[in-house]
Amino acid sequence: MRRFLCFSCDGDHLAATLDESHGTTGLLIVSGGNEISSGGHANQARLAAWAAGKGHPVFRYDRPGIGDSAGTNRGYLEGGPALRAAVTAFRDACPSLDRIVAFGNCDAAALLIHSAGDLDIDALLLANPWLIEPFGTP
């Protein structure tokens, strides 16, 4: 079953969904670009439903200023605080999680690479990371 949630990051309320399941390994889907959490042509929502059906809870969120989330969109290189807040919100919503695997495409993959050392995530699944701009350049 899919639940809609919100969590806080730097005073902003961010929109999220949780596709519930009984498993202890969860999937965090990080949206790339200025996509909303339903992702390119709703494929992220389909992926979330499929993974939950296989026993893995799935958490998706809209970064600040995108979709249903409040705040200012500062681009993917400034997405670390929202990503960390999403990991915490996922663990709070699913206290039985032992592991989180994070999936990101394009600049979401680059954000995961950039933030990996600061995250409570066990594995990264990266597709087509955006590597044109040097990290640290806005």
- State how far the Cα of 126 lies from the Cα of 112, in Å rounded to an integer: 8
CA distances from 76 to 12, 25, 29, 68, 91 (A): 17, 25, 14, 17, 22
pLDDT of 97 > 70? The answer is yes
- Average pLDDT of 49-59? 98
pLDDT at 100: 98
Tokens of 76: 């993917």
- State how far the Cα of 130 lies from the Cα of 109, in Å rounded to an integer: 7
**Chain segment 4-23, per-residue pLDDT in tens:** 999 999 999 999 999 999 99
pTM here is: 0.91
- List the beta bridge partners of residue 125: 103
Give the type of residue at 137.
Answer: T
- Report the number of secondary-structure helices (H) and strands (E) in the chain: 3, 6
